[in-house]
Structure 1
């Protein structure tokens, strides 16, 4: 069979192999040539770039695809600024639904309201007309349940984090969230997944790392995870690499088609919900958060992953949670050997609060940091949520990208969508413009972390750079100049014109936006 060749000419190709290249040729799924347009080889198809910039495509290293699709096409509460506005928005959405429907919403953040008082279960009940409803906070670690939802889950009352008023945290929230997810019809789930992946492709994303997890007492989590992997494999969509977040379950993760037994295997919760595990108490609450997993749990998980040759990893935000990870990984290294641990490229998702000793642990054990710069953009600074929850000093030290990169800790950037939107250029800009100047990345380092860094964190070393012999995974942008765009605050960022994944066009502006 003859391999099809395509030549993209008259543009600007971002490539260390040929910094002044204006053309790139693709044979099948591989970059076959790059150089000056005048020297370009013949090809079966020729695409005139009309001066456009070509770069490696982005990887979003931490996302929740179904929830992202729901946020794009369903009830998104990120813009509400009061309990009253939240209830009005929910009521409008519920009005057109059958009485048996479940009302699912997400994205509210009371720290951005003038009055952070949350609605009561009785108020939510009136808004949804007695229907079942569950509203997830933007961080995904707190929710508000309607009375009808609570009535369906009588065992919640015995779980940590339960409140009869309907605001749930900790284990009660996780159980209620699972039940709400299980109620989503399969057809609707697939529509949401498809919408999220198509949107991702339109942003220059060729790959997404999905963070799935089990559903206690239900197979809904497994079904959501496997259906997403099957959808991505069956259509011309971004590649999806699944991380399965279940403790010491590497064999099960492999059976589900997961790339790793990692992701949202939560050692703690979130800063916004006061459930991230801290060494010292929160500045605005008499608590140090909550650790779901101990160092011993971490140790056994890494040993389990090593036994199956699978990447492991954890969600860890607070410094106490990250200490549990480092201590547990160190203990596992005593059993399986430090070379085995380092070869596993185990991941820590979020990694928001680290001091020098914790960063040294990342270096010692070859841990990868999967981070979300948009968290700092949204909640960092002197007068936003981090400062309220942690105080100015700890807030300024959070999300230490510069300190991590400065000692060689590999970074992979993501969004945690729908916590923050899919927005790769926005993520790069957020890393470059960190609220703490000491923690800013250079534009080149930030871009590399959102492209090649994402692939390397998956153990894939030949993707994320445009050079002959590498996979033709790239994006074409409306920028008409060579090099990275202006990433200063409020600068206009490039718009994607075309996205390719291993030579396959998964987004074409002329066709997909028509």
Structure 2
């Protein structure tokens, strides 16, 4: 014993006895013997973590966590990989849910197959007031031109038909639907196209023209909408998604989502972008942003142009395969400038769909005029598919976030060069180039345009290949992301793009305990095996929402 300081020696011995016998702190859940990709600032890979009251308590080694904490449930993952809950930075949850009641036309190899699926559905549901479907893509057919409605008119003369193209920017409708909407060859529309051949309507409606007919479709009743929301949620949890950005919602839908979340029925976290409708602007301009642990409303989704596949994307120069067309803006330039000024003054985030290089240039310039320089407004360009090289630096100059969808590149690669030609395709879908502007890039899927599975987007981002692992070597591989960049794009960076980096997107103390357990490690497994990865379990708020505890 220290003779000079006997009390100090006694204190040290007592403290050692006290700490050695200290009881472990209580936790709701402990995960250990795992490979935990935290997605924190240092890209830490840990072994274990503890969860309490829906948040991460601490992250560290297995021995440390199990000594310091005692969990009501403790899971030995035997080396399985764990990641933060995946976030889809651009999707359409409401649209996907609605589509669960429609005819699935994804993957049809001909218009004949489209018709067959519609006939089968109609036989099963003969009393529905409208025949609705989504997912056809004429680029996948032998004849790559838009279809006409002659067959629809013959087979379905008494029921209105509205079938939407895969990208949501074009639809084919029958004569019954056109008559109900009082659309004639003399009808005009701004920011859209009505198909007319030899003086008669073909049934094709592009971009704003769709609204002439779609507004006549009766909405789902609340009870039915609740059912499809919950069904959609289950599908998303099954692929590891715990948060989604819903790009373009109206106030009544947002309020229904909020009520279901507060009732603990809907557990999917949603970052809601508002449609810039008069109702939404009137209400949210007055009341401001809205934020709960499950719902965040602080942005407006704006459409600058249409889609490349339906030639509605606004290009600086004509389409390579349609020399007389350049696409079009969906509103006039004054509209975008005025709205940008309003949103900036009121503190809302502006997120603009821009596909073509002309649309991207316009919106980047308008953003620059309003933002003026470096800022933390986090305004976004959604898709940013075709950006002229001279405009790319504007993303960094004004801190504009490019929000991209990697599977768009691998879906479009079969025909995008036909639309753009060899010069423009060289700087399209340039995700690595865009990432360099601000040092991060959020990733989404745009489902139901693409599949809901975020691991497909991960694979497309790093391999630049589709489900067939085509093409060999990857499409424009120079713009591939690294695996860690892709992981951050669907976790940490996606959260940052939503102003949510302090609450989710990484496995760190005091953040929401959203995480996913996979059957193989997407950071190390061979590229051809990535899409075969399965979700073993998905947790939201520390609660198992998909899979099994074992």
How many angstroms apart in 1 are the aligned matches of 2:537 and 2:531?
18
Counterpart of 2:194 (choices 143, 158, 162) is: 162
Paired position in structure 2 for 1:445: 485
Please give the alpha-carbon distance, in whole angstroms, between the structure 2 residues aligned to 1:419 and 1:366.
27
Counting only pairs closer than 5 Å after superposition, residues 35-50 of structure 1 correspond to structure 2 as 35-39=60-64, 40=66, 41-50=69-78
Q: In the aligned structure 2, how far is the partner of 1:269 from the partner of 1:140? A: 9
2-side partners of 1:85 and 1:118: how far apart?
A: 15
Q: For 1:425 and 1:137, how far apart are their aligned partners in 2?
A: 24
Contact 2:395 2:437 in 1 (8 A): no
Change (3 A) 1:20 1:122: closer
Note closer, same or farther for the CA distance 1:146–1:246 as it changes in structure 2 (3 Å cut): same
Offset, 1:229: 4.1
Answer with 452-461 or 463-472: which moved more: 463-472
Shift of residue 326, structure 1, vs aligned partner: 1.4
Task: Say how many residue pairs are matched.
Answer: 491
1:112 is matched with 140
User: Does the residue aligned with 1:7 lie in a helix, a strand or coil?
Assistant: strand
Deviation at 1:284, TM superposition (A): 1.1
Task: Report if the CA contact (8 A) 1:201-1:507 is conserved.
Answer: yes
Tell me which residue corresponds to 1:141. Answer: 169
1:354 partnered with 2:387: yes
| TM-score, normalisation: structure 2 | 0.83
Partner of 2:252: 223
Tell me the alpha carbon deviations over residues 292-337 of structure 1, each in whole angstroms, 9 at most, x when there is no partner.
2344333222221122221112111111101111121122235xxx
Q: How far did residue 36 of structure 1 move?
A: 2.3
Partner of 1:68: 96
Match of 2:348 in 1: 310
Aligned pair partner of 2:46 in 15, 21, 25 = 21
Where in structure 2 are the equivalents of 1:281-430 lying within 5 Å?
281-285=318-322, 286-333=324-371, 338=373, 342-380=375-413, 384-408=414-438, 410-430=440-460
How far is the alpha carbon of 1:5 from its aligned partner?
2.4
Deviation at 1:430, TM superposition (A): 0.6
TM-score, normalised to structure 1, is: 0.89
- Alpha-carbon deviations, 1:159-210, whole Å to 9, x = none? 3322322111132213323433x44333333322222221111111110111
Larger Rg: 2
- Cα distance in structure 1, aligned partners of 2:523 and 2:425: 29
Q: Which residue of 2 aligns with 1:262?
A: 300
Render the CA deviation track for 1:234-259: whole Å, top value 9, x for unaligned: 32522011101217965534659562
Equivalent of residue 202 in structure 1, options 217, 238, 246: 238
Do the aligned residues in 1 keep the contact of 2:134 with 2:163 (CA within 8 Å)?
yes
Distance 2:157 2:224 in 1: 22
How far residue 233 of structure 1 moved from its aligned partner, in angstroms, is 4.4
Moved more, 456-465 or 104-113: 456-465
The reply to whether residue 455 of structure 1 matches residue 480 of structure 2 is no
> Cα distance, 1:423 vs. partner?
1.3
Change (3 A) 1:379 1:291: same
Distance of 1:343 and 1:37 partners within structure 2: 38
| Of 116-125 and 278-287, the range deviating more from structure 2 | 116-125
1:88-142, CA deviations, whole angstroms, 9 ceiling, x for partnerless residues?
Answer: 1111111222345211100000011012344432311333352111000001111
Alignment match, 1:216: none
The 2-side partners of 1:438 and 1:233 are apart by 45
**How far apart are 1:7 and its partner, in Å?**
0.6
2:289 is the alignment partner of 1:252: no
Structure 1 window deviating more from structure 2 (418-427 vs 166-175): it is 166-175
More displaced stretch, 231-240 vs 248-257:
248-257
Per-residue deviation, residues 338-368 of structure 1 (Å, max 9, x unmatched)? 45xx222111111101133322111111111
**Structure 1: runs of 5 or more not aligned:** 214-220
| DSSP-derived class of the 2:311 partner | coil
Q: Check if 1:184 corresponds to 2:220.
A: yes
1:84 is matched with: 112
1:256-278 superposed Cα distances (whole Å, 9 cap, x missing partner) = 95623323x11000001111000
In the TM superposition, residue 469 of structure 1 has moved relative to its aligned partner by: 2.9
Q: Per the alignment, do residues 485 and 252 of structure 1 end up closer, same or farther by CA in structure 2, a change over 3 Å counting?
A: farther
* Partners of 2:173 and 2:446 in 1: CA distance: 23
Does residue 500 in structure 1 map to residue 527 in structure 2? no
Are 2:456 and 2:531, in contact at CA under 8 Å, matched by a contact in 1?
A: no
SS at match of 2:171: strand
State the distance in 2 between where 1:128 and 1:229 align.
39
Say whether residues 1:102 and 2:130 are aligned partners. Answer: yes
CA distance change for structure 1 residues 492 and 136 in 2, over 3 Å: closer, same or farther?
A: closer
CA distance, structure 2, for counterparts of residue 470 and residue 134 of structure 1: 44
Instruction: State the partner residue of 2:32.
Output: 9
Cα distance in structure 1, aligned partners of 2:44 and 2:128 = 59
1:18, 1:280 → 2: CA distance? 43
Corresponding position of 1:171: 208
- Quick check: 1:57–1:474 contact (8 Å CA) kept in 2? yes
Structure 2 gaps, min length 5:
1-24, 196-200, 291-295, 465-474
Inter-partner Cα distance in structure 2 for 1:233 and 1:399 = 39
Aligned partners of 1:401, 1:369: CA distance in 2, in Å?
9
- SS at 1:357's partner residue? coil
Pairing of 1:482-501 with structure 2 (within 5 A): 484-486=523-525, 488-501=527-540
SS of 1:506's equivalent?
strand
Query: Residues 28-82 of structure 1: CA distance to partner in whole angstroms, max 9, x if unpaired?
Result: 1221122222232222221232332111111011111233134455311012111
TM-fit CA distance, 1:458: 0.4
